[in-house]
Amino acid sequence: YHGSTLMSHQLIIITVLCLPFVAQSSGTAIVDNWLPIAALALGTTAIGHTLMLYSFKFFSVTTASIISSMQPIYGIILGILFLNEIPSINTIIGGVIILTTVGIESFRSYVK
């Protein structure tokens, strides 16, 4: 299936499942922050999901999944750049483990 089709199905299912909880929230935070929320949804979720599914044409599912595990690294970098958050030592160690795993798997898939 095309990535956009899968994303549409997921969006419909999640919307239906979350609909009962909409009445419990005021919605003020969403109305006040709709532009950043929309940018985050499109930039990281919709486009990222579609590109990941597209990458299955070029990489094995295992390799693409391991490479996608770099998402926390991107989040840490964005937190440093935009929120001035300094990660703890545990976060840095976790990031190094993720980068090492991705590097090893990238090398293994390149050698094959």
Cα gap 87→93, rounded to integer Å: 10
Cα gap 13→70, rounded to integer Å: 26
**Integer angstrom CA distances of residue 84 from 80, 81, 90:** 5, 6, 18
Q: Which residue has the higher pLDDT, 91 or 63?
A: 91
Is the pLDDT at 103 greater than 80, yes or no? yes
Is the pLDDT at 87 greater than 70, yes or no? yes
Cα gap 9→18, rounded to integer Å: 14
pLDDT tens column, 12-67: 998 889 888 877 777 777 778 788 878 877 777 777 777 777 878 887 777 777 77
**H or E stretch covering 36:** helix 34-40
Single pTM value for the model: 0.49
pLDDT value for 22: 74
